[in-house]
Amino acid sequence: MDKGSWKHSLLLAVVLANAYAEASFSWHMDDFIQAVKQVENGVPGSGPVAVLKRLRHAAGLNDALIQYFLRAADSGGAEMDVSLLSFISKAVHHRVTEENQEEGVVLTPDGTTVALTPLLLGLEAGFLSKNKDRVRGLLKLTFTKDLESHPLSHHLGPDGCWDNVSLPQVFTLLDQPGVLTTAQINGGMDGFVLGTEIAFPSTSGRPLTLSGILTEYYCHNLEVGGMDVAPRLISRRRRENFRKLGVPSITAREVVKSVEKQRRVMGLKKMDLKKKKQLMTLVKEGVKEFVQEYLECPPIIPRCMWGAKPYKGTPTNLTLPLPFLYIHHTATPSDPCLTLQQCSADMRSMQRFHQDDRGWADIGYRYREGGVSG
């Protein structure tokens, strides 16, 4: 083979390899944990803080506020593989595109979607904490950091849909983004809960690696007893654990003070009184919505995530608060589903029974005089 043909073949191989990598990537927490393990293996013996700083450096998370609380991030060792660097940068850097696709988020095994930036910042804040009663900067890094970019909105959410739950690549929001998307809120709660646990551990024997911490929290396999026998510190309990930390009692005034602190650190001018009052009003409404939708209510997996068929007819949208709620059992109550895949299959089976066998509009019910209808 002559030199020209050799170069052409090499170029073709590189192109095909890159095309394959782009086609097979997945934004699933399992894949992100594997990437974290590669970072850990690249610097043997490095602790979680060093790994977190390498991840932060790769994703470009190094603005003035982050440096104020966590100090500057550096590569901390040998150069990272180009493909690994690209994956981490895309996985962690959060943004919403013009097509309403949310990036910097991953699908977790429990079916919820999590933004990685607030999660990783919360973890690092917990490891660096030296206070005896609180984690310095934890609320700012996990929640209020992004309020400045949406100063005129208090709306939260929405959630979204993955193009494929087995190989998630594109996450599209169900509506226009509010001040914080559901994925950012999930990541913020996880970062706050894990950061607090790391700073003030309630038990001994925590994993010594970042990948171990993430695996234990996100990848726990439920046993036959379900949540009744599940550990305390897992992602399925994020809302419960967040409530127990007393975070819902945070006042709008504290949030506004946090935003003011952020502006000072970022070198922005002080808010005038009018803007401060406006922000206070919006934050009060936002805190109320947050408590109602993300703490008092259980997490709801969108229909698109379990493969629902369309509603037959025109559905009536529900509004909070609901006057009552009826929970239906599965087809086999003695054999409950324990994974997203099992639960999705059960939901599809029940919908087929209700729509195809019974001829009802959907899987849900409504009460009317004389009985129950679909």
- Among 283, 284, 122, CA closest to 187: 122
pLDDT: which is higher, 148 or 187 = 187
pLDDT: which is higher, 305 or 249 = 305
CB 142 within 8 A of CB 135: no
Q: How confident is the model at residue 371 (pLDDT cuts 50, 70, 90)?
A: very low
CB 179 within 8 A of CB 155: yes
CB 219 within 8 A of CB 109: yes
Instruction: Give pLDDT, residue 128.
Output: 96
Residue carrying structure tokens 């226009």 = 176
What are the structural domain ranges in the chain?
17-300, 307-373
Tokens of 121: 């910042």
Tokens of 29: 């927490």
Q: How confident is the model at residue 152 (pLDDT cuts 50, 70, 90)?
A: low
- Write the CB contacts of 46 (distance below 8 Å, at least 6 apart in sequence): 40, 54, 76, 77
Q: Compute the 3-state secondary structure of the chain and give helix, strand, coil in percent, each to the nearest 5.
A: 50, 5, 40
Look at residue 18 and tell me whether its pLDDT is greater than 80: no
Residue carrying structure tokens 């999705």 = 344
Instruction: Give pLDDT, residue 10.
Output: 47
- Tens digits of per-residue pLDDT, 191-233? 999 999 999 988 767 778 999 999 999 999 998 888 989 999 9
The region of weakest confidence among 18-22, 90-94, 259-263, 310-314 is: 18-22
Look at residue 138 and tell me whether its pLDDT is greater than 80: yes
CB 305 within 8 A of CB 111: yes
pLDDT: which is higher, 123 or 288 = 123
CATH of 307-373, one of 3.40.80.10, 3.10.20.740, 3.40.50.1820, 3.30.1330.50: 3.40.80.10
CA–CA distance, 181 with 114 (Å, rounded to integer): 10
Average pLDDT of span 278-297: 88
CA–CA distance, 21 with 349 (Å, rounded to integer): 35
pTM: 0.88
Tokens of 34: 């594997």
Q: How confident is the model at residue 21 (pLDDT cuts 50, 70, 90)?
A: very low
Q: How confident is the model at residue 67 (pLDDT cuts 50, 70, 90)?
A: very high
The region of weakest confidence among 190-204, 241-255, 337-351 is: 241-255
- Among 144, 143, 141, CA closest to 124: 141
- Tens digits of per-residue pLDDT, 99-122? 999 999 999 999 999 999 999 999
CB 330 within 8 A of CB 346: yes
What is the 3 state secondary structure string of 318-345? CCCCCCCCCCCCCCCCCCCCCCHHHHHH
Look at residue 374 and tell me whether its pLDDT is greater than 50: no
- Among 24, 277, 290, CA closest to 168: 24
How many residues appear in the chain? 374
